[in-house]
Amino acid sequence: MSTREATKKYFLQAHQTHICRKALVSPKERQFCTAIKIKIHHAALQNKQKETFSQQDKHRQI
């Protein structure tokens, strides 16, 4: 299993069990979970930005 797959599996598991909200989670695990959420959010923002730019280019060409 690659690091990327392991990270994805961990995040999905954490999301399903709400591990980030549990009091018994170690600070390191909480920090890891938060970092993954930030990366996913950042990637989603970049994808949205790319879509916006491509739509603007289409309008300019017309």
Count structural domains, the chain.
1
Contacts of 33 (CB under 8 A, 6+ apart): 11, 14, 19, 20, 25
Give dist(CA 48, CA 30) in Å, integer: 27
pTM: 0.45
Full domain range(s) for residue 11? 3-61
- pLDDT surpasses 60 at 45: yes
- pLDDT surpasses 70 at 29: yes
- pLDDT surpasses 60 at 49: yes
